[in-house]
Amino acid sequence: MHATQVTDGIFRLSADASDLLFEAIWPIPNGVSMNSYIVKGEKIAIIDGVCGWDGVPETLYAQFDEMKLDINDIDYVVVNHLEPDHSGWLETFKTMRSEFQIITSEKGKPLLEAFYGITENIRTVKTGDTVDLGGGRVLAFADIPNVHWPETMATFDTKSGTLFPCDAFGSFGALGDAPYDDQMSDEQLAFFENEAVRYYSNIVAAFCLPVQKALKIVDTLPVKIVAPGHGLVWRKNPKKIIDDYRRYASYSKGPCKDEVTVIWGSMYGNTELGVAPIVEAMEAEGVKVHVHNVPEAPLGDILASIWTSTGVVLAMPTYEYKMFPPVAAVLDELGKKKVLNRKAFRFGSYGWSGGAQKELEEIVTRHKMSWDFLEPVEFKGRPSASDLEVLKDRGRALAREVKAMVAAAPVIE
Ligand code: FEO
């Protein structure tokens, strides 16, 4: 990994990570980049950082050397967000450089002590505060709480119009040394758009209202470059990622795209018999269908597809008078992530008694998910031919309703 120039006086340092679970939960099959930025005026600031995993801060320090940047020349460390994937390197950094000032939000200060025992040389800032680096370079700050932790803030370089929003406008996907949107083909941009949806749905989804508040602040700024803590740096078309995030935030309440996510689990193959017929019926109506078999499917994959789906099909048998537990666990997590207002349908098998439907209704109600369900279909044991015909009818009806909802929705840019 090498340091690269973002624009005059601003440089990106980065480390890619893979083969780990992000937040110790989420698989990242295509890796993730952790971005840090050097901003040079007469004084020098470093904005955001990287995690403290073995070998990761060293990757960053090697890039200091490559830039011929003496670590003792760094005057300010701007900590936009204390989650350790961005701040974990402070422990080693402070052993190498003692005379620097940390700039963070008021809520960030106690977290510096809690995570790293740092109590000195901290300057707290709030929305509207600035730090003059000299040479015409002024950094301005804005609190953007809960994007993604309560202490999060954004930093804006007024000279170049570069926004450093930390987790906001981020995406998964390792980037190597080609991190800029102007270096990407259309195919690569499409790939990273999927990685942005995966990132948003896995990491930011529960905080859509704070994202929308942050967008209102961003809309007041003359942003020319978006330089997030993870993922692509947007300097050709920063509006794209800002507008994408506006859409992703709206997807919590839907409608989303004319897509349906099917989440199914089956103990002995009887519920499974209904999956292929309903998928084919929905695809025949022209909607895109994502299919996930649980418990095998990673929750991160399910979230990424349901986030863009207006419709949902849940298929599971009754298990000990309740829902088949892997599907119940997924539904509970969808509630926590605020996957709301979906058009939905549920079917499944039972043996001696039902019960799955009752637990489903309890979870959807408890999380205030407001899913609008078509009439469910339950069959005792194996589905009959007429059961399968009813499932196909429900699939067609769901697909048509999804398309109608998307067609009637206001366009969000
Ligand atoms: Fe990338 Fe909330 O940390």
Residue 367: band (very low, low, confident or very high) from pLDDT cuts 50, 70, 90:
very high
Is the C-beta atom of 81 inside 6 A of ligand 1? yes
Residue 54 scores a pLDDT above 90 = no
**Ligand 1 geometric centre to CA of 385 (Å):** 50
Average pLDDT over residues 114-132: 96
Among residues 305, 261, 293, the alpha carbon closest in space to that of 279 is found at: 261
pLDDT at residue 413 in the model: 67
Residue 111 has pLDDT above 90, yes or no: yes
* CB 151 near ligand 1, within 6 Å: no
Domains of the chain: 4-250 (3.60.15.10), 259-402 (3.40.50.360)
Please check whether residue 34 is in contact with residue 50, taking contact to mean a CB–CB distance below 8 angstroms.
yes
Could you read off the pLDDT of 161-190 as tens digits, one per residue?
Answer: 999 999 999 999 999 888 999 999 999 999
The response to whether residue 346 sits with its C-beta less than 6 Å from ligand 1 reads: no
Atom index in ligand 1 nearest the CA of residue 170 equals: 1
CA distance 81 to 383: 52
81 — pLDDT class (breaks 50, 70, 90): very high
Neighbours of 136 (CB within 10 A): 11
Q: Whose CA is nearest to atom 1 of ligand 1?
A: 167
Residue 411 binned pLDDT confidence (cut-offs 50, 70, 90):
confident
Ligand 1 pocket residue status of 167, Cβ below 6 Å: yes
Per-residue pLDDT tens over the stretch 276-328: 999 999 999 999 999 999 999 999 999 999 999 999 999 999 999 999 999 99
- How much is the pTM? 0.95
Average pLDDT along the chain:
95
β partners of residue 360:
none
86 lines ligand 1 (CB under 6 A): yes
- Residue 167 near residue 229 (C-beta atoms within 8 A): yes
Does the beta carbon of 85 sit less than 6 angstroms from any atom of ligand 1? yes
**Residue ID of nearest Cα to ligand 1 atom 3:** 83
Residue 225 forms beta bridges with which residues? 162
Q: Is the CB of 137 under 6 A from ligand 1?
A: no
Q: Which atom of ligand 1 is nearest to the CA of 166?
A: 1
pLDDT band per the 50, 70, 90 thresholds, residue 55? confident
